[in-house]
Structure 1
């Protein structure tokens, strides 16, 4: 049901847990502020009472029998729901519509995320923030950014319900002995929960990621970059060049990283190393490794450990989700010895990125900065009163002053700003280096890049944006070098 007083701007369906029950999300304006509205079927007073009775019956009947209502297969919970309706005779007082709605709320409250389930299911939501009692739940929407929801955590009971749902599904326990918890949901989303005594009385954040990654074509479609830049990046990756993507939190670094990684030749061995599993590839020889640090456990595997281990596996490409410590030094050693490298880092400018790299705890020797072929700056910007993402620039390392550590950059591509919202090309020295390395002329390199641009334009014309279709086209291109 839609609340009165909101001016609806956008309205779209969300995949429901129960066939026949429709749920939606709406972006709405009220008193000059944008809101995110999760829309679920409304229960009347009688149905509310029946829902509480059914849940109590399920818990009392099955929990003592070690029947895990949260993790049991969906069909088993459906069978238990049906048994309760029949054994108690409740089915006589409920019509089909009411039963379907009650089933939805049973599944949502026992196997879903309760009041925030719609938010978790919405593919456009990137972050969900539960700030505490008396405060609204906020979301970060991929198209509208920070939005308040009408769901207010009105009391400690509701806050406990939400935090418990998140913790249970993430397979963690909340105790005052361990008041700060980082975990992952079954979908792989990042979870951070803080309770008393670290904060009063509790807060939670879920950081989501897209299950099906964006392709480079989708990013071109959304004008994050243009087709010339995509062809340039494709050519670098095809020739095993190394790229660092940098930007602020939420700029879209991992999204861009995943889109670029899809362009790696399918015959290459790729090792991905992450804190939390977010990268998804279709490469047959892909090895995915995730750092592990269980509190109170003697088992601890860091990014540094995994990057070192990856060197013994003879990878063609090493992809590190984000560098911020000593793992960066090992990655640079790998790049120096001929491995391709892709990674991201937090920085507001190319100068800040270099300063972080050559300072503790990364400690990259300044002369090794030249091993990076391109730095890519991605950011959230405002274009025509709407927040979106753009690649602000692609920078190649020309030279490094070993005394001062100052890096001379060549700006290959640069965003022209909000007024024109285009990208300018200023020439590439990496093309010259690749031509020399391969013993060909720069004009041949430029022709090969132009061919990749033509292929991307043809795929754009055919609207072959989707992950599966684009991945198939790239693989077939590499396999047969056919003309698309």
Structure 2
């Protein structure tokens, strides 16, 4: 049985020696980690450096001959000292997409199935310890005056926390960052689309169509976006703008990643999508990718950029249908450029956007089984009708 299984099932029985080792190494880490605050350093570097410190101290001060016991101990100490406790078990499982915590209880979504794990924490102190570590790493505040926290964890997962008095319990929702390794064949096997749609998606990317991926929360927009990026030729320049580090173009030599920053106790200035899009337009880029269109100014400026030669660009947007994605782009753009009439905005959108892909979660015959699926693929003609409406073709 692996260490992670033993943690998740709470069957670890530590000897007195193991407890002493954990206590000793925790004290050492506490005195040495003052300059390793992940707010100021690369988060993966922070994790690796702390792990090496633990490994060095265990090997130097304690003679543990058994290789597996030693590595289990190092991993356990890391989880307890610097990680997120039992959450590390589930964050490392590539089959898990979502984690929901309500006080001491946990629900996960694994392979599309909702699984109620029941009580996984011994007491609320464990829960609040995890919240404190998330808070410290984010540089943000959460307390009774500000009982909300939205941030990304050190490995990229999105996290939302709500605590009393605005809620009756502590609620932690985590969207697990595990979408990087999916290739287009993986998503076909998972049932997101069939072979015909797979070939259509390949055609869109190869022929540099500007694509908007639409859908509700948790429908797989970022997962599909990452997968489409893998289809881009590796010699093309890609500029990627994102709010959280969800997009990582693996094995792509010419990708530039730009991430927004919010104002916090440690960072006294904000860098938003508008500023990053302005900067990326000054850099050579064959394609521009925005993780999610949220701001009205970035919506309008992206449309302008797509009308000036950046073909084959992608983005995502929250919407209830493919057509609703177009109307959301209209609304956001008109909020920014109020002097433009609706007809002019529609013309700009029609010339900029070639394809809308709409995703939704579908029940797959079982009450607790959810499947992410492409519901609509819409191609947009560059010209409006005489009545000023979009000419749409549903694939």
The TM-score with structure 2 as length reference comes to: 0.80
Q: Given that residues 148 and 162 in structure 2 are in contact (C-alpha distance below 8 angstroms), is that contact kept between their aligned partners in structure 1?
A: yes
Q: Given that residues 363 and 371 in structure 2 are in contact (C-alpha distance below 8 angstroms), is that contact kept between their aligned partners in structure 1?
A: yes
Q: Secondary structure at the match of 1:292?
A: coil
The within-5 A match list for 1:73-472 is 73-81=50-58, 102-132=73-103, 135-141=104-110, 143-153=111-121, 155-168=123-136, 174-175=142-143, 179-195=147-163, 199=167, 202-210=170-178, 212-281=180-249, 282-296=251-265, 297-326=267-296, 327-340=298-311, 341-360=313-332, 363=335, 365-371=345-351, 372-385=353-366, 386-398=369-381, 399-401=383-385, 406-412=389-395
1:342/1:211 CA distance change after superposition, 3 Å: closer
Give the Cα separation in 1 of the matches to 2:254 and 2:69: 50
Give the Cα separation in 2 of the matches to 1:179 and 1:48: 39
Unaligned runs of 5+ residues in structure 1 are 2-20, 26-36, 413-484
Shift in Å, 1:274:
0.6
1:249/1:60 CA distance change after superposition, 3 Å: closer
Q: Given that residues 400 and 407 in structure 1 are in contact (C-alpha distance below 8 angstroms), is that contact kept between their aligned partners in structure 2?
A: yes
Shift in Å, 1:54:
3.9
Which protein has greater RCO, CA pairs closer than 8 Å, 6+ apart? 2
* 1:214-246: CA deviation from partner (whole Å, max 9, x where unpaired): 111222233322233222222222222211111
Q: Secondary structure at the match of 2:391?
A: strand
Q: Given that residues 213 and 280 in structure 1 are in contact (C-alpha distance below 8 angstroms), is that contact kept between their aligned partners in structure 2?
A: no
* 1:128-175: CA deviation from partner (whole Å, max 9, x where unpaired): 22222xx4112222x234322133446332222332343455566655
Q: Secondary structure at the match of 1:223?
A: coil
Give the Cα separation in 1 of the matches to 2:29 and 2:183: 45
Q: Given that residues 121 and 127 in structure 2 are in contact (C-alpha distance below 8 angstroms), is that contact kept between their aligned partners in structure 1?
A: yes
Give the Cα separation in 1 of the matches to 2:168 and 2:154: 27
Shift in Å, 1:332:
0.6
Q: Secondary structure at the match of 1:129?
A: strand
Q: Secondary structure at the match of 1:407?
A: coil
Shift in Å, 1:316:
1.5
Q: Given that residues 214 and 319 in structure 2 are in contact (C-alpha distance below 8 angstroms), is that contact kept between their aligned partners in structure 1?
A: yes
Over aligned residues, Cα RMSD in angstroms? 3.3
The TM-score with structure 1 as length reference comes to: 0.67
Give the Cα separation in 2 of the matches to 1:221 and 1:186: 30
Give the Cα separation in 2 of the matches to 1:274 and 1:81: 39
Shift in Å, 1:308:
2.1
**Partner of residue 422, structure 1:** none
